[in-house]
A and B are shown apart, each in its own frame.
Chain A
Amino acid sequence: MSAVIKDVAQQPQTLVCLRNLNKHYGDFAAVDNISLDIQDGEFLTFLGSSGSGKSTTLSMLAGFETPSSGEILVSGKSLVNVPPHKRDIGMVFQRYSLFPHLSVRDNIAFPLAIRKLAAAERNKRVDAMLKLVQLDQFAHRRPSQLSGGQQQRVAIARALVYEPRILLMDEPLGALDKKLREDLQDELRQLHRRLGITIVYVTHDQEEAMRLSQRIAIFSHGKIVGLGSGYDLYQNPPNAFVASFLGNSNFLRLKAQGNAVATFEGQLLSIRLTAGLQTGQDTLLMIRPEKAQALSVEQAAAQPLQTGWNEVSAKVGEVLFLGESQTCAVLTQGGTAMTVKALSAAGMPLKTGEQVRVRWATADACVYTQWAESDLNKAAGAH
């Protein structure tokens, strides 16, 4: 995964530039001063909760919404005054939006017919598309005679047939069930690899975003609050909001004592070296549940704490078996709730009420100095 990103990074060809983009509805900023560079050929996903401005941003790219202010550049040229039908962008909508009165074949041929392509060339391209999305046998059906997954494949073929440089997809798999969604995700990833097209994808499904994209832009309240590969955003979230939004997280409230040490409930902990920390400053530590370990008192005694690791004492609340993994909810002496997650194979022989030692590596815990209380609350992402 990171190899792909390095490749892109080596030849950073910016295809689309969003510059201080705003969209206001009355007083309400649906998109709030977004700036973003989209690389040529990358698969970028807008991820965010409902109402965070993902679709509005995509609509401005497509040209259905006019920005209140700001610029959209493609290959350096402004798109703001180009009407949507001249932007040469492909788009796939959530509800497929196929033309109900046309056959599958005519749906896919529509963009070429509009462009007045010669019949022979048109047929050739449509045939290739039908093959690409594996719908050759369904060419003469009407959209209403196809399943949801097949309809969405027609929509993808229709968006690709005129070879646009950019493909926009607004929750294209949202209406499909889980199994079909995963199949189509795989197809989509292969398609992207094969065609090298730039894809901007909208979803509010984290797993989908991780599975598909090279980079993810995390939206909240009309702003991009995190941008990077899924790996980086998850392992090193740029802020507490992204940390709590992506996956699960434990937050510990510390008071800094220098640049690499802080106190937690009166106990000294080592933290990542963080420039500019003032002694006594409120600091937030974020540890992913799977980066923490919960050891029984005996285990802890048998395994001395390695350097670069921290340990706090806690009491087991609840142990949950989730199949592949197990989670253990604990409460520290000072009353901070934490969750520890381990693979079932590794085993976590703990019981409710037992004393445990929770350990983590200093390098695995992120340090934040600025956050809002609502950032720590997963549900607070939406408007």
Chain B
Amino acid sequence: MLLTPNAMSPRLRWGLYSVTGLIALFLLLPIVFIVLLSFGSSQWLVFPPPGWTLKWYQQFFNNPEWMAAAFASLKVAVLTTIFAVALGLPTAFALVRGRFPGRDMLYGIFTLPMIVPLVIIAVAVYALFLKLGYTGTLFSFVVSHVIVALPFTIISIINSLKLFDQSIEDAAVICGASRIQAVFKVTFPGIRPGMVAGALFAFLVSWDEVVLSVMMASPNLQTLPVKMWTTLRQDLTPVIAVASTLLIALSVLVMFIAATLRRRNEARMPS
């Protein structure tokens, strides 16, 4: 309470503002840097750029390998989103509504991938798929991404489901809707913010996932981050800056959509 901006001395206030500003700058700087470089004319990523050009974008969009990677990323992310929501929804219902022994443990298991270091999951999944001969397939990408995306999806659906008053669903049932109908017609619209957030989370997790993807990749199937990674090891071209910029742009767009939806939703349902 004492630290509300108005109660502080001007000097302290400006001090805090500048620290906050510096931290924000520190976080933003690499992004700004890479975006500027993607438009810079220097082949060697000189900063500040000696001139401006769209040449690298042209190269990116004209290169079938980069386009294939971008398309693969999009495909994997969309499929991951679909499966994460399709699996996360019933799981969240079971974890919130279910009355069975071991429910809390199950919750722990489902959220484990958030805590376990990614490399460990990656190695485990890689070993499994290697044995099954699935590495380098779309299937292996989607499965491994769903594993790490699912906890985020489940948690955001669980949160909105816990907030949803179940007597609203009961009201639909007593009005004549079967339980399934009530869930689809009343509960899903009610928890839509959580479902949308969960879907966007899944998309973002998959979209910039690199550790698992590097292991799952094959010469004929790799996602954008993987392609960046492999290209980076061969030579440093501004096309990588372009790929980074596009990666960031889509992430920012998705986050912007999420924020807009949330704001609209709050405006519609106060309290």
Which residues of chain A have a CB within 8 Å of any CB of chain B?
62-64, 83-91, 93-95, 97-101, 110-111, 114-115, 142, 144, 155, 158-159, 162
Contacts and interface: CB of A to CB of B under 8 A. Distances in A.
B169 to A, nearest CB: 9
Given A91-B171, A93-B170, A144 B270 contact: yes
Given A83-B178, A144-B269, A100 B170 contact: no
B165 interface: yes
Contacts of B168: 97-100
Contact of B181 (A88, A97, A114, A142): A114
A99 B172 CA distance: 8
Contacts of A158: 171, 175
Contacts of A99: 168, 171-172, 186, 189-190
A145 to B, nearest CB: 9
B41 to A, nearest CB: 52
7 contacts: A64-B170, A85-B182, A95-B165, A99-B186, A101-B189, A111-B175, A144-B269
B177 interface: yes
B165 A97 contact: yes
Contact of B190 (A88, A91, A100, A155): A100
B171 A97 contact: yes
Given A95-B165, A101-B189, A142-B268, A85 B170 contact: no
B268 A115 contact: no
Contacts of B178: 83, 85
B176 interface: yes
Nearest to A89: B174
A84 B173 contact: yes
Contacts, number: 75
Contacts of A162: 175-176
Nearest to A93: B167
B271 interface: yes
A42 to B, nearest CB: 20
B269 to A, nearest CB: 5
Contacts of B173: 64, 84-85
Interface string B175-207: 111110110011001100000000000000000
Contacts of B189: 99, 101
Contacts of B172: 99, 110
- Most B CB contacts (10 A, CB to CB) among A87, A98, A101 go to A101
A38 to B, nearest CB: 17
A85 B177 contact: yes
A94 B166 CA distance: 12
A85 B176 contact: yes
B190 A111 contact: no
A77 B269 CA distance: 42
Given A142-B268, A144-B269, A144-B270, A97 B170 contact: yes
A330 B8 CA distance: 63
B271 A111 contact: no
Contacts of A95: 165, 167
Interface in B136-182: 165, 167-168, 170-179, 181-182
B174 A91 contact: yes
A30 to B, nearest CB: 16
A85 B174 contact: yes
